[in-house]
Structure 1
Amino acid sequence: MGADRLVLPAARGSAGEGNEVSLSLRLAGLRARAGISEDRVASLEEQLERKVQALAASPPGFIRILFDDAALSKILDTASQLPDTPHWVILGIGGSALGARAVRDTLIPDRRQDLRILDNIDPDSMARAADQLDLVISKSGSTAETAAQLLFFHDRLLARGLDPWQHIVAITDPESGLLREVVGREGIPSFEVPSDVGGRFSVLTAVGLAPARLLGLDSTALIVGAQQMWESVRDGGRDHPLLRWVAEAHLRSIDHGQRCQVMMVYCDRLRTFGGWFAQLWAESLGKREDRNGVEVHHGSTPLVAVGSTDQHSLVQLFAEGPDDKQYLIVSAGRKADVALQTGSEGVHDDLGYLLDHTFGELFDAQREGTTGALRAAGRPVSELNFGELDEAHLGASFLFFQLATVLAAELLEHGGHDQPRPRQQQRGHGGRRQGTRASCTVNGCPHSHTPTLGERGRKGEEAGR
């Protein structure tokens, strides 16, 4: 199937008046395999169109917030009142870190030290953490990892003779949670994350927009790009290429066991965008039960690869290993190119074929070669190209994959953007833990996998017997 170019209305903000925001999506198409027909794809596209219209009639939080001008203004106003500091540290995990990291690395990769993101509690990393102003991102504040980091930095600031609450900013639920209690008690600045937006869908809330604004990026353009993508899908009908991609992927997964979704990015700036996608896809689609309570153990496993690096580690498996994967090759308009000059022609005669070319030409040839090799091996390969790497295109791409995830969940008959069932059950047990297990609350993780210190001690005693 040929390329479908998603040309969105002219963007405001950093994209500039009159500039197009466009993504080019070339679909893998259907292979001549029993059971997959155009009629079946068309039936799924009709189902997905109905789902899109249902989302339009009753928008979930991650769509509703895109059109909440007051919420965006509040984020920008709060950011403008914060101290002018060159360095920030984000304490968060899951969706509270992955979105901000993708924004930073895609748009300003040379400023990683200006926004450090601590999304793990590896003691080595914590011991080396710098004493900087902290941006604490947690939906409830009770996530064990983020809470421990907060206590650690609180102590470090005290040891330096500083008032910790003068150096901490919170991004949290507007009404409830431990961190909201601290905000109210200490009067520290805070950004609000809407209660109806789950962590993995929160990148276009203060979770991603506040760090972007603090780094001098155009948060408004991120939102505008996402708005344009939503309007494109909402008004595009069943023929919209996003719906086709989801429908084809579903049939390949269910009928032929191609349940691993490989995103191979040919752009270093998009490495961590791939990580953001992986959490969104895995946590949204990996479900034990469907919406009717039937045990199904559905899911699609995301795998992020980087071209051309992983041509030398994974592509052999992709082309000749088990046919249990489908592929999305992602590329983008590049910011710069570097030429290989003829002054190096004396290095070795066998290297002459590289001269008078650019790294961009070599990179494109590598991507095209890999794509062709996978197709020749009969693998289903789609291609997505970001027209540019700016705020508007990134915002549109975030929403593209959020919508793709929700639509994929619809075909699996469960709610992709809902809180997982175990997490909802945990909420019914009351607020603070009472010697039970701690759970990952930022991104709605359903697993109770962090034992209390007392429980860990008992397990240690049992192991020593």
Structure 2
Amino acid sequence: MQIDLQNSTLSSASLQKSQEARKILESRSGSGHDFLGWLQLPEEQSARVQEYLKIAADLQKLDAVVMVGIGGSYLGFKCLYESLKPAVGTPAGPEILFAGHSLDGDYHRQLLEYLEDRDFGVVVISKSGTTTEPAIAFRLLWSLLEKKHGKDAAKRVCAITDGKKGTLRQSADDLGFHSAIIADDVGGRFSVLSPVGLIPAAIAGIDIYSLLQGAMEMCDHLRNDKSDENPAVQYSAYRNGLYEEGRKIEILVYYQHAFQYLAEWWKQLFGESEGKDGRGIFPASAGFTTDLHSLGQWIQDSERTIFQTILDVEDAKSPVLQNQKNDGDGLNYLAGKTVHDVNRVALQATRQAHADGGVPSLRMKIPTIEEFQMGRLFYFFEYACGVSAYALGVNPFDQPGVEAYKKSMFKMLGKPGHA
């Protein structure tokens, strides 16, 4: 991955602050330092690939597998799956479905009705087993499995949860589910390279070994490069320097549909890690060129509180435009170019137009969209997030604000102990 700062500059002050933040991260001396288990996940998890493939093999025999989780327990694999599955048609293997990522009753009703006539399994992901959305979904799905299969229902469930405590761990042990452990020192939004993301990926036929190899390469690069050329340090300096200048909104721009859920994962990663103590950049996203026809005007001419981070995929399989006798659409000038060629020119032209309109941007060049590169990208953003949050002066690994709505909701629902 290469970072292009053509339309932006990094101040020495922001680089220095980001270098200091990197030292805090690496020395494990900052707030939340007991949640840094993700730093060494790529190497640690590589030793468990065969274990995960064995679990996956049992569930791959089914017609469908429902992934139950929310937040980091959902978005990491959802991002990986949507990035790598075919854009159209049905992927090989079991149908991959999702539940517990919302409280949409109609969605879950339709899902249960759809599964009535299918041989399905469930991967339920929750440290405690009591997070409201996935707990409700799993209760519904487990009831259906028990009705269909009786004592054999447990063979169709994999619980990814705490190693020693919690409702889901108790159920896994008592009922004999397949299970894997979420380490105590790995938070949800940093868990995609743990069994949280790897087991669902293996079930979906994704090459998790290659994914981890890419993550290991990026890990080695970021943790050993102490220079100002370290891309995580540069990204942190870019973001925090602009934030101090009054740029409060970062738009992650992607030009491939495959990256829609990468943007959603990125928004949780940075939003939940940095948005606290009255500080934090608001993480937004846009899929160009589609969103140029809805948000383009706003980005070009709105209040100058925004900046962009652009994901540029350098190589993609793409149809070639042909010359036609009847050039009624006036497109013969594009003959010989691929649609991807045109897309990348649109990227360059849009970036220049936005720069002329006063919108700074950073471009990340990504060679291709495949497992190795996704591993590199996941680790890069996680590491850069830790550096950036420490440079901002906040704890990257807590989320005190998310408890407020839960307390209110539990009180309204009459949950015991929340009067």
What residue number does 2:249 align with? 260
Per-residue deviation at 1:139? 1.7
Report Cα offsets for 1:108-137 as digits up to 9, x if no partner: 235578211222221121111132211111
Per-residue deviation at 1:260? 1.0
Contact 2:389–2:395 (8 Å) recurs in 1: yes
Report Cα offsets for 1:360-404 as digits up to 9, x if no partner: 122112111111111111211110121121211101100111011
Contact 1:171–1:191 (8 Å) recurs in 2: yes
What residue number does 1:136 align with? 124
1:413 corresponds to 2:397: no
Of 310, 320, 333, the match for 2:291: 310
* Distance of 2:298 and 2:39 partners within structure 1: 38
Report Cα offsets for 1:307-361 as digits up to 9, x if no partner: 1101111121112101111101102144411122224x42616444344432112
1:101 corresponds to 2:101: no
Highest relative contact order (Cα 8 Å, sep 6+), 1 or 2?
Answer: 2
Of 50, 54, 66, the match for 2:23: 50
Per-residue deviation at 1:71? 4.1
What residue number does 2:333 align with? 353
**2:341 match: secondary structure:** helix
1:93 maps to amino acid: I
1:26 maps to amino acid: D
Name structure 1 gaps, 5 residues minimum.
Answer: 1-22, 32-36, 289-296, 423-444, 459-465
Give the 5 Å matches for 1:17-28.
23-27=1-5
* Distance of 2:289 and 2:409 partners within structure 1: 43
Aligned sequence identity (%)? 25
Computed over aligned residues only, the root mean square deviation of the Cα atoms, in angstroms, reads 2.5
Per-residue deviation at 1:194? 1.0
Per-residue deviation at 1:76? 3.3
Per-residue deviation at 1:105? 1.2
2:53 maps to amino acid: L
* Distance of 2:267 and 2:86 partners within structure 1: 20
Per-residue deviation at 1:271? 1.0
* Distance of 1:457 and 1:249 partners within structure 2: 43
Contact 2:18–2:387 (8 Å) recurs in 1: no
Per-residue deviation at 1:168? 1.9
Give the 5 Å matches for 1:390-405.
390-405=370-385
**2:227 match: secondary structure:** helix
* Distance of 1:49 and 1:449 partners within structure 2: 33
* Distance of 1:169 and 1:366 partners within structure 2: 44
* Distance of 2:208 and 2:329 partners within structure 1: 50
What residue number does 2:39 align with? 63
Contact 1:138–1:172 (8 Å) recurs in 2: yes
Name structure 2 gaps, 5 residues minimum.
Answer: none
Per-residue deviation at 1:453? 7.2
Contact 1:29–1:248 (8 Å) recurs in 2: no
Report Cα offsets for 1:6-51 as digits up to 9, x if no partner: xxxxxxxxxxxxxxxxx121125646xxxxx743134224313423
Give the 5 Å matches for 1:230-249.
230-239=219-228, 240-249=230-239
2:283 maps to amino acid: P
1:353 maps to amino acid: Y
1:116 corresponds to 2:97: yes
2:292 maps to amino acid: Q
* Distance of 2:329 and 2:61 partners within structure 1: 55
**2:226 match: secondary structure:** helix
What residue number does 1:449 align with? 406
1:226 maps to amino acid: A
What residue number does 1:213 align with? 202
Contact 1:28–1:380 (8 Å) recurs in 2: no
Contact 2:59–2:156 (8 Å) recurs in 1: no
1:41 corresponds to 2:3: no
What residue number does 1:3 align with? none
Bigger Cα displacement from structure 2, 153-162 vs 304-313: 153-162
1:181 corresponds to 2:170: yes
* Distance of 1:63 and 1:307 partners within structure 2: 32
Report Cα offsets for 1:277-334 as digits up to 9, x if no partner: 010010000113xxxxxxxx11111111001101111121112101111101102144
What residue number does 1:429 align with? none
Structure 1 length-normalised TM? 0.79
Contact 2:232–2:387 (8 Å) recurs in 1: no
Structure 2 length-normalised TM? 0.87
